[in-house]
C-alpha cells in the first residue's frame, strides 16, 4: 500500500549578497607624485626620469593589498 502523501516544507535559503572586492587602483597621479618624491630624494638631479617612474610604479604595485580569489592570491 502506498504511503500517505506528505508535503515537505522547504526552508528557504538565506538571501545571498554579491560582494565586490574593490582593489585600490593606482593612478597616473599616484605614480607621478611618487616619482617626484624619488627624484627629490636622490638630490633633484635630472637625467633619470624613466628610472624614477619605473621605481615608483614598482613600489606602488608592491604595496597593494593581495586579494584572495578562488583559492589563489591575486594583486
- Strand blocks (E) in 28-75: 67-69, 72-74
53 pLDDT more than 60: yes
Assess if residue 14 is contained within a domain: no
CA distance 55 to 44: 15
Percent of the chain whose predicted confidence (pLDDT) is above 70: 61
Whether 57 is covered by a domain: the verdict is yes
Task: Give the pLDDT score at 23.
Answer: 63
The verdict on residue 69 lying in a domain is yes
Residue 68 lies in a domain: yes
Say if 50 falls within a structural domain.
Answer: yes
Give the pLDDT of residue 41.
Answer: 97
> Taking residues 58-68, what's their average pLDDT?
84
User: Residues 20-43: what's their mean pLDDT?
Assistant: 89
> pTM for the complete prediction?
0.58
Judge whether 6 lies within some domain.
no
Q: Is residue 36 part of a domain?
A: yes
Residue 59: DSSP 8-state: H
Confirm whether 35 is domain-assigned.
Answer: yes
**Residue 55 lies in domain:** 28-74
Amino acid at each position: 500500500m502506498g504511503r500517505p502523501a506528505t508535503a515537505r516544507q522547504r526552508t528557504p535559503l538565506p538571501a545571498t549578497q554579491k560582494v565586490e572586492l574593490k582593489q585600490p587602483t593606482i593612478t597616473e597621479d599616484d605614480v607621478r607624485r611618487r616619482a617626484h618624491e624619488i627624484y627629490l630624494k636622490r638630490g633633484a638631479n635630472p637625467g633619470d626620469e624613466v628610472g624614477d617612474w619605473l621605481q615608483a610604479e614598482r613600489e606602488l604595485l608592491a604595496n597593494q593589498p593581495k586579494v584572495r580569489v578562488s583559492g589563489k592570491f591575486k594583486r
